[in-house]
C-alpha cells in the first residue's frame, strides 16, 4: 500500500512517496525513501514487490550513470523512461520478472527551453507521459482530486498545495498510516529533496 504520486507543473515536477515500510501487519520503518535520482535532473519513484523495487531502481540508476560517465552526456528524461520501459518489457518475458511500477520525473535541459516531463511506467512495460500520475491504491483517492484541481500552469507553491490536499485525503481514507510523504522537486536547477510534505 505504498503511495507514489507525481505532478508536472509549469517549470518543475513533484514526486511524492510514502515513508512507511510495511510487512504483513507491521510497520517496519517510518523514514523510507522510495526514490532514486537517475541523473542531475531526474528522479524515479517506485513501488512493488519489496526487494525487487530497490534492486531494479539501483540497477537502472547504475546503468544510466555508467552511460553518462562513458559518453559525458546525460540522457533526457524521455530517453531514460524509454530505457526503463525496455528493461521492464524484457524482464516480464523472463523466468522471474521484476514486479515494479515506477514514476519518472525529469527536466530536459538540452532543449532550447528546459522541458519538464512525467512518465508513468508499470511492470508490464507500459510507458505513458502524463501531467499527473499515481500507482497503486493511492491512485484511487488522489486522481479524482487531481482531475478536479490540476492545471498545467501551476507553479511550485500551488503544486505543493495540491499535494497537501492529496495527503489529507489519503490520510483520511487509507486503512493504515503511511507515515507521511517525502517530496522531490525537479526543475532545471536539479533535484531538491524534502523529508516531509508537512514541513513545506
Partner 1 sequence: MGSRRYDSRTTIFSPEGRLYQVEYALEAISHAGTSIGVLSNEGIVLAAEKKVTSKLLEKDSSEKMYVLNDQCVTAVAGLNSDAGILVNTARVYAQQYLARYNEPVPIEVLVHRLCDIKQGYTQYGGLRPFGVSFIYAGYDDRYGFQLYTSNPSGNYSGWKATSVGANNSAAQTLLKQDYKEDISLKEAKELVLKVLSKTMDSTTLTKGKIELATVSKKNGKIVTKIWKPSEIDALLKETGIVKEENEENEEIN
What residues line the site for partner 1 (CB under 8 A)?
A: 71, 73, 75-76, 78-83, 86, 110-111
> Nearest approach, Cβ of 159 to partner 1 (angstroms)?
27
| Assigned C-alpha cell, 135 | 500507482
Nearer to partner 1, 119 or 123 (CB): 119
Identity of the residue, 1 or 66, whose beta carbon is nearer to partner 1 in the bound complex: 66
**Residues 80, 64: contact at Cβ < 8 Å?**
yes
> What is the smallest separation between the CB atom of 71 and partner 1, expressed in angstroms?
5
Judged by beta carbon, residue 118 or residue 160, the one nearer partner 1 is: 118
CB of residue 35 vs partner 1: minimum separation in angstroms? 22
Under 8 Å between Cβ of 114 and 11: yes
Pick 94 or 113: Cβ nearer partner 1:
113
* In the complex, least distance from residue 12 CB atom to partner 1, rounded to whole angstroms: 21
**DSSP assignment of 113-146:** S-EEEEEEE-TT--EEE-SEEEESHHHHHHHHHH
Cell of 98: 521484476
Instruction: Please state the closest distance from residue 72 (CB atom) to partner 1, in A.
Output: 8
Between 111 and 151, CB nearer to partner 1: 111
Q: Is the dihedral of CA 19, 22, 25, 27 positive or negative?
A: negative
What is the spatial distance between Cα 6 and Cα 129, in angstroms, rounded to a whole number? 11
Query: Which residue, among 2, 71, 62, has the nearest Cα to 32 in the 3D structure?
Result: 2
Amino acid at each position: 500500500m505504498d503511495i507514489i504520486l507525481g505532478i508536472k507543473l509549469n517549470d518543475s515536477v513533484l514526486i511524492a512517496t510514502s515513508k512507511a515500510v510495511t510487512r504483513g501487519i507491521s510497520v517496519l520503518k517510518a523514514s523510507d525513501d522510495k526514490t532514486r535520482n537517475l541523473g542531475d535532473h531526474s528522479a524515479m519513484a517506485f513501488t512493488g514487490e519489496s526487494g525487487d523495487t530497490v534492486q531494479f531502481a539501483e540497477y537502472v540508476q547504475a546503468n544510466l550513470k555508467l552511460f553518462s560517465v562513458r559518453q559525458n552526456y546525460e540522457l533526457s528524461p524521455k530517453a531514460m523512461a524509454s530505457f526503463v520501459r525496455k528493461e521492464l518489457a524484457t524482464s516480464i518475458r523472463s523466468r522471474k520478472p521484476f514486479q515494479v511500477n515506477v514514476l519518472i520525473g525529469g527536466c530536459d535541459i538540452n532543449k532550447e527551453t528546459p522541458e519538464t516531463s512525467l512518465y508513468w511506467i508499470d511492470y508490464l512495460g507500459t510507458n505513458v507521459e502524463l501531467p499527473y500520475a499515481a500507482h497503486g491504491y493511492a491512485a484511487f483517492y488522489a486522481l479524482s482530486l487531481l482531475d478536479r484541481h490540476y492545471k498545467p500552469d501551476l507553479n511550485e507553491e500551488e503544486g505543493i498545495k495540491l499535494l497537501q490536499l492529496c495527503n489529507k485525503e489519503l490520510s483520511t481514507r487509507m486503512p493504515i498510516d503511511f507515515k507521511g510523504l517525502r517530496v522531490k522537486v525537479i526543475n532545471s536547477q536539479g533535484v531538491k529533496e524534502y523529508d516531509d510534505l508537512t514541513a513545506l
